[in-house]
Amino acid sequence: MTVNGDKVTREIEPRVLLVHFIRENLGLTGTHWGCDTSNCGTCVVLMDGQPVKSCTVLAAMADGHDIRTVEGLAVGGTLDPVQQGFMEEHGLQCGFCTPGMMLTARALLDRNPHPDDAEIRQAISGQICRCTGYATIVRSVQWAAAHPLGTDAATDDGGAGATIEEGVTA
Amino acid sequence: MQIPAPFDYERASDVANALVLLERHGPESRIIAGGHSLLPMMKLRLARPEWLIDINDLAELDFIRREGDQLRIGALTRHTTLLESADVAELFPIIRDAEQVIADPVVRNRGTIGGSLCQADPAEDLSTVCDVLRAQAVIRGPDGERIVAMSDFHRGPYETAVAQNELLYEIRFTIHPRSGSAYEKVERRVGDWAVVAAGAAVGLSQDGTIEEAAIGLTAVGLDGTVPEAEATLRGRQPHEDLFIEAARIAAAVCHPVDDQRGPVDYKRHLADELTRRVLRRACARAAGAQEG
């Protein structure tokens, strides 16, 4: 399969779940592993651009597909506008749900660049946050929608583009 | 950590190949599509197949086609695709109603109509929808194709008419003029199974009387639709008093059980109220009225 643009090949047992393949075989621990029952959504990754719960997909089923994890959100050292939005609007506290929330938000904005609050809430309704609550997450996604090019395009703060060095990694 | 017991895995290249693989690997082999019902059951050892045959590559099973007086939906059609289909929304709004409340948006990206029907969970929404629409299941096996009415498809909880060496190929829905349908569910939170849900479909005659009616209830122990309530509706004009009468019958004949989702009297109340609502909405849709 392709993960964040890189072709990866491993010999695995058929029963290995995609979430464990990503975390343990590839060492990409940004994808979190939570309830294991496809309820909490912290394991969400993008499969061919669509959010899926990776605890309920076999790694073997993802063979030949394009997987994007939170590590693949930033491009060339610049955080994705969604990541910047979560920083600007305090969309995270403990950070456990954050990778899945951001990937679902990215997929939403790719399909619908100007969602209303209800559409954002609908998109993340299969994912659970237990600290900040959803209001700041919705604001974070709205920030990203309002700044499709990130802070470089912002007119109100004049700040330089956020980079991974000065930002957060999940 | 929940991990399925060991099994072998093979991808089918087309429907014929999937049937060959089912024959070859025998009674302990199972088809996997979206996997959002089967994999959780495998983690809990409630299912323990020795072979999984992955049909996710079978694009030939992923279609929504309007042909003559039928809408044909391939078994591998994802919930998200059904939810976004203009044909489905126009012809069978009950499917769209149900798809909005099946699991959650991320799960709907993987789960399929065929998987939902074959899983045959007693609280599964599309089973009620297909019962109410008097759908037909097209099943392919080594001896060819056979068509099974939805009333014969479900044989009980987690059991269907699909034999071990067969594959659900498509679901067919007959398009009726002047018809309307609706579904409504009460759930504790997004993604949960229904506490209770109700579905209804009606066909009106030229003068507006109810010619054909179907009522189904989810998660209250009903096998198929509710003929007693349907008989009450036929030949009469849609009216609030009629909906109340039919809903009372439906609520009386169902068999809810007391569990963590609620006590029996609450569920019976929901069955009554939800049946009224879906009848109201189905009749309004059939009459071409604006959505209330």
Write out chain A residues lying below 8 Å of B190, CB-based. Answer: 125-126
d(CA B121, CA B219): 9
Say which residue the tokens 């990776």 belong to.
A54
Please name the member of B5, B35, B52 whose beta carbon is closest to the beta carbon of A57: B35
pLDDT at B216 over 50: yes
User: Is A129's Cβ below 8 Å from some Cβ in B?
Assistant: no
pLDDT at B76 over 90: yes
User: Is A48's Cβ below 8 Å from some Cβ in B?
Assistant: no
The mean per-residue pLDDT over the stretch B120-138 comes to 95
Find the length of chain A: 170
pLDDT at A154 over 50: no
- Is residue B180 left, alpha or beta, with left meaning phi > 0 and alpha meaning psi from -120 to 50? beta
pLDDT at B223: 84
DSSP string, B262-288: B-HHHHHHHHHHHHHHHHHHHHHHHTT
**Interface pTM, i.e. ipTM:** 0.92
pLDDT at B224 over 90: no
pLDDT one-digit tens code per residue, B168-202? 999 999 999 999 999 999 999 998 999 999 999 99
| Own/partner long-range contacts of A32-39 (Cβ < 8 Å, ≥24 apart) | A32/A96, A32/A97, A32/A99, A32/A100, A34/A96, A36/B1, A36/B2, A36/B43, A37/B2, A37/B40, A37/B43, A38/B36, A38/B40, A38/B107, A39/A126, A39/A128, A39/B191
- pLDDT band per the 50, 70, 90 thresholds, residue B149: very high
Whole-prediction pTM value?
0.92
Strands of the sheet containing B136-141, edge to edge, are B64-67, B70-74, B167-174, B136-141, B144-149
Chosen from A12, A38, A101, A127 to mutate, greatest number of chain B CBs within 10 A:
A38
Q: Which of B186, B253, B266, B264 is nearest to B225 (CA)?
A: B253
Is A126 in contact with B109 (Cβ distance < 8 A)? no
Determine contact, residues A42/A127, Cβ cutoff 8 Å: yes
pLDDT one-digit tens code per residue, B12-42? 999 999 999 999 999 999 999 999 999 999 9
User: Between the CA of residue B290 and those of B162, B201, B261, B278, what are the distances in Å?
Assistant: 40, 17, 33, 14
pLDDT at B287: 93
pLDDT at A151: 80
Write out chain A residues lying below 8 Å of B40, CB-based. Answer: 37-38, 56
Q: How far is Cα of residue B245 from the mean position of the Cα atoms in its chain?
A: 25
Write out chain A residues lying below 8 Å of B84, CB-based. Answer: none
- Is residue A150 left, alpha or beta, with left meaning phi > 0 and alpha meaning psi from -120 to 50? left
Those residues with Cβ within 8 angstroms of residue B79's Cβ, 6 or more apart along the chain or in another chain: B99, B102, B103, B107, B108, B109, B111, B112, B113, B116
Cα diameter, chain B: 61
The mean per-residue pLDDT over the stretch B232-241 comes to 97
pLDDT one-digit tens code per residue, A35-91? 998 999 999 999 999 999 999 999 999 999 999 999 999 999 999 999 999 999 999
d(CA B113, CA B137): 11
pLDDT one-digit tens code per residue, B84-115? 999 999 999 999 999 999 999 999 999 999 99
d(CA B283, CA B208): 9
pLDDT at B153: 96
Sign of CA dihedral B124, B129, B132, B136: negative
Q: Find the Cα–Cα–Cα–Cα dihedral A52, A55, A59, A61, rounded to 10°.
A: -50
CB pairs under 8 A between A and B: 77
pLDDT at A152: 63
Write out chain A residues lying below 8 Å of B35, CB-based. Answer: 56-58, 61
d(CA B45, CA B59): 30
Is A15 in contact with B5 (Cβ distance < 8 A)? yes
- Write out the H or E segment, with its range, that includes residue A82: helix A81-88
pLDDT at A168: 44
pLDDT one-digit tens code per residue, A82-130? 999 999 999 999 999 999 999 999 999 999 999 999 999 999 999 999 9
pLDDT at A163 over 80: no
pLDDT at A156 over 70: no
d(CA B54, CA B57): 8
DSSP, collapsed to helix, strand or coil, labels residue B122 as: coil
